[in-house]
Amino acid sequence: MTGVAVVAGTRPEIIKMAPIIRALQKQAVPFTFLHTGQHYEYEMSQGFIEELRLPTPDCCREIRAHGPGHQVSRAINFVERTIRKEKPKIVLVHGDTNTTLGAALAANKHRVPLGHVEAGLRSFDLRMPEEHNRRLVDHISTQLYAPTHNAAQNLRRESVWGDVIVTGNTAIDAVLQYLPIAVEKSRIIDTARFEEYALATFHRAENVDNPRILHNLTKVLVNSPLPIVFPVHPRTNVRLLRCGLLQRLKGSKNVQLLPPIGYLDTLVLLKNSRLVLTDSGGLVEEATAPPIRKRVVVARISTERPEAAKAGFSWIAGTRAGEILTAIDEALFDGHELPLVSPYGTGNAAETIVTRMLRMLSFPGTSVHRYLPRCLGLKNEPS
């Protein structure tokens, strides 16, 4: 019998679950690490696993290249097989991906307690498939590990039945744990053409799958007042090529294109940048970590991370070229000192999550079926 099933399928999940896996190892808690293969390119998954020094996961390659519905159903099947075989006491999922939803549904149908890491984030933008996923997962979770008090308030307003616990965000844990390694090992900064630059990343479907918005983002990169270092996500590369925009970026002296890069290289580019331009929520969080502290222009019309904006780290600029360029100017010339403390915690989120999880389970040896009735407000059923 396995104590904990840790499920991931994409680069952000792997990065943010890494501190939890390290905390489980530190406390000698038995676990199974499952990788659904939602990001199946080496650079987007296995490369991260190796450089983060994580154990080799049980992998499923069946999800790759399928549409969202098939991804969810195949994630269900993959996690169900593990539940039947390993009989975990709890399944841990992260965030809002199709992997997260599929694993959560598998745990729910097998009456296995579910822990949702990074619960309670809300963009209130139902165009985003991630918004649907995170809401569904939150409402079937046994323990909801909210990264901030704002996220916890979202959950309580929705009357979720699971236990809401404010933990901080494991993104900060990961930065603190891996940045020293990155500074020592990465040589990516030697390849940067510019002494001063903005780090740019774009990958969200509502941005890169929309030709009009993709044209806007290309215009921003070419006309940015600060030179751009741009590691290109595989999805974004395909869309740029289809829209005939890739050559425009390649021909710009203002933009340096890079292939997909590892987490350690990303941390080094982030630390040495002057500004960040992105639609990535994870990069917003990482930019607030005390060793990094960078301003971020977010190319979106909504955010599920208002704490960063409130603290002065981020500008929600929209997706029009003129508005983004204006936000870049504002961020570059903003005279306010950034906070010394991240709104996403102090770097002990993973330890808090594991401690509260073990407390719930009275690990080891507790029957999982005692907890679902308790969380539902029902009398305990006999085991």
* 15 and 160 assigned to the same domain: yes
* 163 and 186 assigned to the same domain: no
* Residue at 221 is within a domain: yes
* 300 and 353 assigned to the same domain: no
Q: Which of 280, 256, 278 is nearest to 11 (CA)?
A: 280
* Residue at 69 is within a domain: yes
* Residue at 339 is within a domain: no
* 11 and 109 assigned to the same domain: yes
Query: How confident is the chain (383 residues) per 10-residue block, as mean pLDDT?
Result: 88 95 96 82 64 86 70 92 95 96 97 98 92 98 98 98 97 98 96 97 94 98 98 94 97 96 96 98 97 98 96 97 98 95 98 96 50 42 36
* Residue at 381 is within a domain: no
Residue 301, classed as helix, strand or coil, is: coil
* 313 and 164 assigned to the same domain: no
* Residue at 337 is within a domain: no
* Residue at 382 is within a domain: no
| DSSP track, 19-49 | HHHHHHHHTT--EEEEE--SS-SGGGTHHHH
Residue 40 is predicted with a pLDDT of: 54
The verdict on whether omega for the bond into residue 364 sits within 30 degrees of 0, i.e. cis, is yes
* 220 and 147 assigned to the same domain: no
Q: How many domains does the chain divide into?
A: 2
Q: Residue 18 is part of which domain span? A: 4-168+348-376
* 321 and 241 assigned to the same domain: yes
Contact call for residues 7 and 103 (beta carbons, < 8 A) = yes
* Residue at 341 is within a domain: no
* 130 and 205 assigned to the same domain: no
Neighbours of 175 (CB within 10 A): 28
* 129 and 235 assigned to the same domain: no
- Looking up residue 59, the CATH number of its domain turns out to be 3.40.50.2000
Q: H-type helices in the chain, by residue range?
A: 11-26, 46-51, 68-86, 98-109, 129-138, 149-157, 170-185, 205-208, 211-223, 234-242, 246-250, 263-272, 281-287, 306-310, 321-332, 349-361, 371-376
Residue 374 is predicted with a pLDDT of: 42
| Whole-angstrom distance, CA of residue 13 vs CA of residue 195 | 31
Q: Which two tokens stand for residue 217?
A: 């983002």
Q: Which two tokens stand for residue 144?
A: 């909801």
* Residue at 133 is within a domain: yes
Among this protein's residues, is 203 annotated catalytic?
yes
| Angle at the Cα of 335 from the Cα atoms of 230 and 339, rounded to 5 degrees | 80
The model carries a pTM of 0.91
* 137 and 214 assigned to the same domain: no
DSSP state of 327: H
* 141 and 185 assigned to the same domain: no
Residue 237, classed as helix, strand or coil, is: helix
Contact call for residues 119 and 155 (beta carbons, < 8 A) = yes
* 192 and 271 assigned to the same domain: yes
Q: Which two tokens stand for residue 85?
A: 């075989």
Residue 271 is predicted with a pLDDT of: 98
Residue 58, classed as helix, strand or coil, is: strand
Region for residue 77 given its phi and psi (left: phi exceeds 0; alpha: psi -120 to 50; beta: otherwise): alpha
Catalytic residue, candidates 203, 233, 336, 369:
203
